[in-house]
Amino acid sequence: MNRVKRGRWFIALWFVLLATAAQAFDAGQVYDYLKRVQAESGSPGVSAAVAVNGDIVFSGGVGVSDLQSGLVQNGRSVHNIGSISKTQAVVAIMQLVEQGKLDLDAPVQTWAPWFPKKQKPITLRMVLTHTSGIRHYKDGEFGPADVLAFRQYDNIEESTRFWRDDPLVFEPGKYWMYSSFATNLLHAVVEKASGEGFEEYLRKHVWVPAGMLDTQFDVPARIVPRRGKGYVRNKQTGAWENAPDENVSYKYAGGGVISTDEDLLRFAMALNAGKLLSAASLAEMYRLQLPRDIPYSPEQAKNFKAGKVPPSMGQTQALIWRVGKDLAGRAYAGHSGSVKGTGSMLANYKDQGVVIALHINGEGGGKATAAAEQLAQLFLPAGQASQAGRFDVLIKGGTVIDGTGNQRFTADVGISGDTIVAVGNLSGATAARTINAAGKIVTPGFIDLHAHTADEYGDVGLLSKDPRRRAAQNYIAQGVTTTLSNPDGYQAHTADGKVMPLAEQRLALTNAGIGINVALTNGHNALREQVMTGDMKRPANVQEIRQMQEILRRGMAEEGSFGLSLGVEYFSARYSDLNEEVELARVAAEYNGIFIPHLRSQGISPMWYRPSSDGDSPPTLDDSINETLAVAEQTGVTAVFTHMKAWGPGYRGQAQRIVDRLQAARDRGLKVFMDVYPYDSSGSDGQFVALPSWAITNGQRPKEDDKNFDYTAALNAVLKQADAKRRDDLARDVKHQLALKGGPENVRILDYPNAKYVGKSYAELMKMRRLDQVELAIALQKEGNPNWPGGARMRSFSMAEEDIAAFYKPNWAATSTDGWIVLPEEAVGDKKYVDTNRRCFGSYPRRLAYYSQQLGVDSLEHAVRSASGLPAEILRIQDRGRIAAGMKADVVVLDMATLKDNTTFLEPSVYPSGVEQVLVNGRAAVEDGKRTLALSGRVLSASPRT
């Protein structure tokens, strides 16, 4: 038996013995996971140790810690822990604060008098929160040829001389910027306040009390048993080689400690047990210290890839520790470390009694944080409610597709109140309501990135007085539990016709009670309406842009806005320019909001374009893509190409080319996404009229709800007066409109006085009547209903199914409806094809059942993510879009055998089948396939700058 195999056998045996004293878990699953981490990181070895409720239940690893000797990597391997050293230094600081020897808000020179005074005082708290303005290491500062990489410093004062006179990078307290040079000063502070050497203090007051017998300073002259090494790839050969040597005596507090995974567990367990700090000191150490929106320093921001700025550190920065949530929504305190070709992570789930320490001994160690979080899920208890064994709702035996895109798994889901508190085997639990989901698919509630649910005028939608509408039944019936509203630049209006302020809209929705969750945006058209006066057929001027920016900034900072929606194909935004868009997008980017435009053109021309009056060079879809990418490029904003489509000549069949263009932008670092609805007919397609409005109104402006206007009479008057040029204008406009909307073969009659015409295509009627395109358009108006524009109810099918499929394949394409709230019982008679659309009823069942499963466009896991986890990611909604403990209980149960979009183009207002259960914030909105009319939705708020 060779050394590696013998070591693994010993570890496996030890692991089994430890497991008998703790909760049961699958040892093979843990080792398989560590192997996966090793494969993904490409590192020689990966180790971990796990403690549960104060006991070490696992300590092991895979691979080797030393390639030359073949030393096995395990939880007792000694390695550099990098910046995790800082967590031990801050415990020493807090101990001295308890003793009255330190004041966190006093200048650091109080204990390091040799440190030069700067333009403003630097407090100890600023050092502990990375807001001091002291610079971090420079690239190459400790390279292989740098003598500083090998020098042994006898004291901390000497080691600071080469950087301490440098000017501050920024005014203390103004920004966040990681700085190990600053935290190195903790070495001096502890020594001055305690009167003991720094290592001596840590050994006496931290390491020994915690039982950390393998922890010490990384001193090159010492011989350390079980010492592992770190590795980097040779850039020419790709082979592993020893990481460059570095003497870390200049940064013992900031990153110069060596330890083991087991010792790191003992450190965290000692903290949890109150052995090192009082409860009050522990609470202060873990308390978030900074403003939630504190910006990164410009120097720190340079380290981020374009468009990849992470959330503000105000959300997680405690005293040295980072306190946040893992991918499953579980809170923990932790810190990572990376030095000498290694990466480590310590994650302390104090409330759940679980501690994880993980180490990767290769330059792929940057994966340590995510790996530790994922490993923790194998040991964390299912949740508080599961321990009590009682839930409000228990979904039993379903196949969970959790919204992440990961493989499905069988699990129970326990819900208490409005929150998912447990996912797993809950066989011993009981509940007020139990749902048998055996053979069914359990998914997160779907999130619609484009829905006109709260922005419509008058007593409609979620602002209606009618609770049937506010229940959003056609959305709930599809499994949609959250919509992003105020799209296309619109916002709701008050009774006197003015734009409803966002705060007022939120209050009205909350007070009324709504059936789904709603996220709101500021609308560009609404902003223009609020600040521009007089002629609006122009770009906004500098003062108007500034006023719009202030409204948008207030919306995002105070009123929960998720960003800026635009409708630059509509009045009056169609007259805006790139500069106006860019300046507004800068504000959205400032708060990490989205920029979600209805493009200026979605084909060969905008919808408003008529050749007879609007020139020969209308903007195209490619022009519009260029425009939005330019905004993203100049501002770094997250840009969402909403209800993406490719219609008309030159664009049908071109979806893959468009996808490739957007993918190239993403590859350049731009934050670009899109949403797509699963139908080949758009909203404007449902109101298709081949004749231009000038020909059927004769200069008049009939109101939208005017049922008595005589369009036929107006057409007759125009034709009677028309000369040859005017008739040529009419022909050009009719032919353009038909081409834009897919051609005569893709336009169908939905309703007409002559029932024989219903269901036939425009091309079929041309052949049947022996009329050309223009002649048929005139005949339909003259022979049809005079009070209908065009004389008929027509729908065009301007898009191709293969294009929709191509749009859905990228993993950055979300699902949407571009719909609104419709009551089927009211969509009858003259209203059967007015203000309704198949999308309003069938989008999500069609996306999953037809495109994903029947056509095989993608996996069901991918499709569910496009409808849940992805839009949550785009909107930065952290507590929805996934099935996991800690998520809000927006949950859908689907019967894939019966899931179906039941609409047709002749019957557009029909509820789907197969959506059996829908919960919104834990309350049943669909129960056993029946809508409950529950009003349990909420108005969501965007997390500021996260």
Q: What DSSP string describes 441-465?
A: EEEEPEEESSEESS--SSS-GGG-S
Residues 6 or more apart whose Cβ sits within 8 Å of residue 274: 282
**d(C-alpha 422, C-alpha 384), whole Å:** 8
Residues 115-125 have a mean pLDDT of 92
How high is the pLDDT of residue 27? Answer: 64
More confident residue, 284 or 31: 284
Best-predicted range by mean pLDDT among 169-173, 363-367, 574-578? 574-578
Cα-based angle 576, 675, 946 (whole degrees, multiple of 5): 80
How high is the pLDDT of residue 389? Answer: 59
Identify the band that residue 946 occupies on the pLDDT scale cut at 50, 70 and 90: very low
**d(C-alpha 276, C-alpha 89), whole Å:** 12
Residues 2-30 have a mean pLDDT of 41
Residues 6 or more apart whose Cβ sits within 8 Å of residue 302: none
Residues 765-769 have a mean pLDDT of 97
Residues 862-888 have a mean pLDDT of 93
More confident residue, 542 or 376: 542
Which amino acid does the sequence have at 745? E
Best-predicted range by mean pLDDT among 162-171, 398-407, 704-713, 774-783? 774-783
Of 45-54, 151-160, 555-564, the one with minimum mean pLDDT is 151-160
Residues 282-311 have a mean pLDDT of 84
Instruction: Please give the C-alpha separations between residue 429 and each of 212, 353, 379, 409, 632, in angstroms, as whole numbers.
Output: 39, 21, 19, 19, 49
H helical segments located in 561-682: 578-590, 621-635, 655-667
To the nearest 10 degrees (0 to 180), the angle between helices 724-740 and 711-721 is 130
Tokens 């022009």 -> residue: 623
More confident residue, 13 or 944: 944
Helix (H, G, I), strand (E, B), or coil: what is residue 835? Answer: coil
- What are the tokens at 182? 């600053």
Of 33-37, 299-303, 487-491, 741-745, the one with minimum mean pLDDT is 299-303
Which amino acid does the sequence have at 729? D
Instruction: Please give the C-alpha separations between residue 752 and each of 611, 681, 755, 827, in angstroms, as whole numbers.
Output: 28, 20, 6, 17
How high is the pLDDT of residue 330? Answer: 75
Residues 508-532 have a mean pLDDT of 96
Please provide the average confidence, as pLDDT, over all residues in the chain: 90
Residue 772 sits at φ, ψ, to 5 deg, of: -85, 180
Tokens 């689907």 -> residue: 894
Best-predicted range by mean pLDDT among 22-31, 86-95, 358-367, 488-497? 86-95
User: Tens digits of per-residue pLDDT, 142-173?
Assistant: 555 454 456 778 888 988 887 899 999 999 99
- DSSP letter string over 747-786? EEEEE-SSGGGTT-BHHHHHHHHT--HHHHHHHHHHHS-T
How high is the pLDDT of residue 303? Answer: 74
Of 206-210, 337-341, 439-443, the one with minimum mean pLDDT is 337-341
Number of neighbours of residue 571 by Cβ within 10 angstroms: 14
How high is the pLDDT of residue 39? Answer: 81
How high is the pLDDT of residue 329? Answer: 66
Report which of 652, 668, 599 is spatially closest to residue 807, judged by C-alpha positions: 652
To the nearest 10 degrees (0 to 180), the angle between helices 655-667 and 621-635 is 10
Q: Are 43 and 300 in contact (CB under 8 A)?
A: no
Instruction: Please give the C-alpha separations between residue 250 and each of 125, 132, 145, 247, 852, in angstroms, as whole numbers.
Output: 21, 19, 17, 8, 57
Identify the band that residue 233 occupies on the pLDDT scale cut at 50, 70 and 90: confident
**d(C-alpha 941, C-alpha 192), whole Å:** 47
Of 47-51, 493-497, 623-627, 862-866, the one with minimum mean pLDDT is 493-497
Cα-based angle 890, 892, 894 (whole degrees, multiple of 5): 175
Residues 899-924 have a mean pLDDT of 97
**d(C-alpha 859, C-alpha 868), whole Å:** 14
- What are the tokens at 8? 């693994």
